[in-house]
Structure formats: structure tokens, C-alpha cells
Structure 1
Amino acid sequence: MSDEADLDRGSDAVGRNAPKKRLLRGVAAQTTAVAAAVHLLWAWPRLGSPPDARPYFFLAGSALAVAVAVATLRAGEYRRLYALGAGTLAAFLGGFPAWHGTDAAAALAAEPLAVVAVIVEVVGVGSFLALYRLAPPTSVAVERRREDEPDERGGSEAEEGPS
């Protein structure tokens, strides 16, 4: 295969398995998993508190975050997935000051889990945005995936012909 064909089809040097993209995917997945774990650690003992809805939102958000982390490691290069990852972490990040309002700084200082969450969420949003920027448009990723799938009948198009 020629060098141009390798570049078009996404060789390891420029495709999904480029070292920079592998590192960013690992960071994105790890920070997302840590953010989910921190939110679960905070929410679990508070379940059943009638006036506070946050534990239930944290459970749902953590489940989504874990699904995004797994998909980031296993799926192809999809900008929509990376945008979902960045958006999920940004929702966690923006939810803290939205909930606490002007007391957000004092609440952050009083809650060690919140400090950890803010740090990993900022790093995670940054890594998802970098992945988004490096990924090809979704239509290109889908077309590459179609090209890589074998023919449904088991043979290639070149082998088919009149019998």
C-alpha cells in the first residue's frame, strides 16, 4: 500500500492510534472515571435525603460519565462522543457554582471531594476538547468504518463477477 493510501485510511501515525491521541484518550477516560467515582462517593451516603435532589442527579451523571469513558476507549474517533464527554464533565463543573451560588468558593474549600472533582473535571474537559479538535469530522469517521467492514456476503467486490 502506498504512503498516500495509509494517510487516507488513518495509519497508526495519524489515525486513532497515534501516540498523542492514545494518551489523550487515556487521560480523558481516567479523569471521567475519577469524576464519576467522586460524585458517587459523595452521593451514596446522602441518598434518601428528601429535600436534596443532587444525589440522584449524581448517580445518573456518574452512569453517563462511565459509559462515555468506556466508549472513549473502545469506540472509533467520533467528535460527538468527545463533545458528550466534555459536556458531561462541564455540567458537573458548572453545577457546583450553580448550586452554591455566591458561597461556591467557601463550599469548595470545605469539601475535599469537591476539590478533587474540580481538578479532574478541568483536566478531563481539556483532554476531550483536544480529542475533538484532533478527530476527523464524524462523516469521515463513519466512512472509514464502512470501508474497514468486510462485505456482508463474505467476499470482496473484486471477487464478484458473472458466473
Structure 2
Amino acid sequence: MSADTALGGADPSRDEGAAGRDTPRKRLLRWVAVQAAVVAAAVHLLWAWPRLGSPPDARPYLFVAGSALAVAVAVATLRAGEYRRLYALGAGTLGTFLGGFLAWHGTGAAAALAAEPLAVVAVIVEVVGFAAYLALFRLAPPTSVVVERREADGAEGEPEADEGTP
């Protein structure tokens, strides 16, 4: 036993991924990612709601759909296991919001940020959330490992079938 283990540190013989999603670092990253996704969704809804009747502009409708997806990913991030695909979807959703802003405004993005305070908030939380989801993606084990762990946990909790029962 090493001095680190004796002092309450991590046991080097344990698989690092076995700690699962409840390490302090992953909990913090999940909290940041979820908060960023929810705030980004709220900001986009605040911008889109009054503009939903504007026929020539499709952005409000895309913002409502994107906000619903961002909230769904945030809820799944809290409730589901640590699936890399989920984290990639979260990063992709926030990255799409950010990339869409830059593509829509092009070289005038800085002027658009100066004119719209909601855009400043959105850009900041999108960058933070994107980084948090990418970090979660990098820290998560491959999906096959998570599925194997779930199956093993489920098999341990199931009662064995009685041979005499039809």
C-alpha cells in the first residue's frame, strides 16, 4: 500500500474509470455543462419568443427547437450514465448555437455583440458549456464500457431463477 493510499488517496490498482460519474471533477463539469445549456436555452427563448410571428426569419423557430434540444440534453446529462455520445450532442448543440451566430453575422459579429446584451450572455455560456461538455467527453469511458457496467450491475441485483419453478 502506498503512502497516498494510506492517507485516503486513490488506490492505483483500481481502474480509474471504475469511480464512474461521481468523481468531484466530473460532478463539477456536469453541473457547469447543465447550467450553461439551460442558460443558453433560456437566452435563445427570450430572444425568439417575441419574434415567432416574423415569417421571413426562420431563426426564432430554430432557436425554439435548439433550446428544447439543449434542455433535453441537460436533463439527460443529469440523469443518464456517462455516455460519450450524449456529451458530444451537448457540445454539438452549444457549438451549433455559437457557430450559427458567427455564420449569421459574419464579419459584423463584434458589432452584433455590442448591440445585443443577450448575445453576449449567450456567447459566454455557449463557450463555457461547449468546453465543459468536451471535458466530460474526454473523461468518460467508451460507451461499450458503460453498457457493460450497467449490465453487470443489473445482473448482480437480479434474483436467481428457482430451478423448480416453471
1:147 aligned partner: 152
Runs of 4+ in 1 over 3 A off after TM superposition: 3-9, 159-163
Aligned mate of 1:95, from 95, 100, 113: 100
Aligned mate of 1:110, from 110, 115, 124: 115
Question: Which ranges in structure 1 are unaligned for 5 or more consecutive residues?
Answer: none
Aligned partners of 1:133 and 1:78: how far apart in 2? 11
Aligned partners of 1:72 and 1:89: how far apart in 2? 14
1:39 aligned partner: 44
1:27 aligned partner: 32
Percent identical residues: 73
3-state SS of 1:50 partner: coil
Task: Give the partner amino acid of 2:119.
Answer: A
Aligned partners of 2:51 and 2:117: how far apart in 1? 16
**Paired positions, count:** 155
2:89 aligned partner: 84
| 1:35-71 Cα distance to aligned partner (Å, 9 max, x none) | 0000000000000101110000000000000000000
| 1:11-49 Cα distance to aligned partner (Å, 9 max, x none) | xxx321001000100000000000000000000000010
User: In the alignment, is the contact (CA less than 8 A) between 1:9 and 1:144 conserved in 2?
Assistant: no
User: In the alignment, is the contact (CA less than 8 A) between 1:86 and 1:125 conserved in 2?
Assistant: yes
